[in-house]
Structure 1
Amino acid sequence: MPFKKLHPEILETLEQQNIETPTAFQKKSIPVIKSGANVYCIAPKGSGKTTTLIVTTLQKLKCEAVGNAPRAIVLVEHKERAMEMYDAFLKFTKYNSLRVYVGYEELHVDVQKSEIFEGIDILITTPKSMNKLFLLNGVNTAKLKIFSIDDAEFLIQKSAYAALMSITQSVQKSQYVLYAEKMHPKLMRFESYFMEYAKTISV
């Protein structure tokens, strides 16, 4: 059964990449994420989590650039994963106007600030880097629509957990989608903070 009810541009790119049929995880998760709920997406490697994250982000932003402030944030563990995620996004955004930006600790925060200020739609970053930007008023989250966390197991580490808690306290309103291979008690705790009324999809 092919992908349904997605933006025509997304369907076209999926076709170009020979992704014609959703995985069991994608069938269950994409409609729930599209509904706007906060979601815990729990599935093993190879279930299509990265593609789901990209597709639902693009769907939420209607595949077009708007304004200057980021409307989607993708949080990843480290620079290597940030670059991988950036490359994966570019396969889907090269034919539309969406502006994807990648930030990480090794890139000076002032450089990130000025580049973000020029206007972006999707920010891929690490917790430490994002937290630094917040402390320096380097990113405006007023227009944020969706906040996705990739391979969220890294949040079990104390510093990443603290950075995320600090970030989410500064975000007034957004949908949160957290992806992981296994549900960890520490990830469940987020329900008391920013993952309110979250739904859990697991395969």
Structure 2
Amino acid sequence: MSFKKLIEPLTDAINHKGFKEPLPLQKQILPNIKGGASLFVIAPEGSGKTTSIVISVIQKLKHAVEDAPRALIFVKDKQAALNLELEFNAFKRGTDLRVYCAYDEHSIDIQRDEIYEGTDIVIATPKRLNRLFYLNGINLNKLQICIVEDADFLFRNNNFAEATRTPESIGKCQYLVFADKFDARFKRWQNGFMYHAQVVKQ
């Protein structure tokens, strides 16, 4: 898949950043993601995983059409959320897509009110996302794609259990898990909501 097959705002942003062609990992996974496949993507730092997340989500959603989020991305902490938000802001220029960060170091009441106003992409820590969900502070009925960035963090501080609760509460969805290495505990997801997922290793 070449960058030329993306929506115009994305190709403009990619050209502005000086990217000439996709990295080898991106050539491998972007067409599969666009086709709706669920994936475990196992690749080292610097292989283009984060950019693949941003491009794939913007390409899938294209523009704002709902008040409820259609993409959810789990990250390890506040700083990771803010860093990913910056990446989205750089690539989504020319679209009306809305990005919101939900993390523990912020008033949950304020977050609930701000999410209610409408967002397309939520970047969240698993613990805060679940608190919002069980307080009826976020509607996941429109969710199309659920992603874990740098999934190695899941195996610390009960994050794996927190992230597993979300798929148990939503309907059909595309799942993408990005990590430096494949952990045996992912097999629980393979046997459950990700049983059709492909494993791509670089």
TM-score by length of 1: 0.96
Alignment of 1:7 with 2:45, yes or no, is no
Aligned counterparts, 1:64-79, within 5 A: 64-79=63-78
Amino acid at match of 1:66: V
Aligned to 2:102: 103
Whole-angstrom CA distance in 2 between matches of 1:38 and 1:88: 22
Amino acid at match of 1:98: L
Aligned counterparts, 1:91-170, within 5 A: 91-157=90-156, 159-170=158-169
Out of 38-47 and 183-192, give the one that drifted further: 183-192
Whole-angstrom CA distance in 1 between matches of 2:201 and 2:59: 21
Whole-angstrom CA distance in 1 between matches of 2:160 and 2:2: 37
Aligned residues: 202
Aligned to 2:47: 47
How many angstroms does 1:20 deviate by?
A: 1.5
Whole-angstrom CA distance in 2 between matches of 1:170 and 1:149: 17
Whole-angstrom CA distance in 2 between matches of 1:198 and 1:5: 24
1:123-149 CA distances to partner (integer Å, 9 max, x unpaired)? 001001101011101111111111111
CA contact (8 A) 1:156 1:187 kept: no
Aligned to 2:22: 22
Gaps of 5+ in 1: none
How many angstroms does 1:174 deviate by?
A: 1.0
How many angstroms does 1:10 deviate by?
A: 0.9
1:120-176 CA distances to partner (integer Å, 9 max, x unpaired)? 000001001101011101111111111111000111225101111112211112100
Aligned counterparts, 1:58-69, within 5 A: 58-62=58-62, 64-69=63-68
Aligned to 2:84: 85
CA RMSD in angstroms comes to 1.3
1:176–1:2 CA distance, 2 compared to 1 (3 A):
closer
1:2–1:20 CA distance, 2 compared to 1 (3 A):
farther
Whole-angstrom CA distance in 1 between matches of 2:196 and 2:2: 30
CA contact (8 A) 1:3 1:21 kept: yes
For the residue of structure 2 that corresponds to 1:132, the secondary structure is helix
Gaps of 5+ in 2: none
